[in-house]
Amino acid sequence: MDTTQPTDAPRFSVDCPSRPILDQVADKWSMMALAVLERPTRFNEIKRQLDGVTQRVLTQTLRRLERNGLIRRRVLETSPIGVEYSLTPLGESFRAPFLGLYEWTVANSVEVMAAQREYDERTSAR
């Protein structure tokens, strides 16, 4: 049985299961939250480390990560009650490829910003 797709077929069909996962992990707040979760971390500590994120957006991000099985949410029986987040085994397995991407962005950010400036200068003259 031939399992190859015709060359004019879309590479990612609308119902491809990878699409919502890629959407989640490529989201900037998801990436940053996963970077912060090197160890179990409370909500407010995550928020303090992610400059500019709102409480609402961080809550939504953490819920999506939890729904996708990448993080675990644990209610702490403290006074007041606290919430702590940690990576699941699936989330840990994502760390290596994620860290590769993160390290690439750090190593190449100056070059990317220079390309953006060059593009902006070139297109603003049009």
Q: What is the pLDDT of residues 71-111, one digit of tens each?
A: 999 999 988 889 999 999 999 998 888 888 888 988 999 99
What residues does 27 pair with on adjacent strands? none
DSSP H helical ranges for the chain? 18-26, 28-36, 43-49, 55-67, 89-124
Does residue 24 carry a pLDDT above 60? yes
Q: For residue 1, what pLDDT band results from cuts at 50, 70 and 90?
A: low
What is the rounded (10 degree) CA torsion for 81, 70, 104, 122? Answer: -90
Count of CB atoms within 10 A of residue 42's CB?
15
| 58: amino acid identity, one letter | L
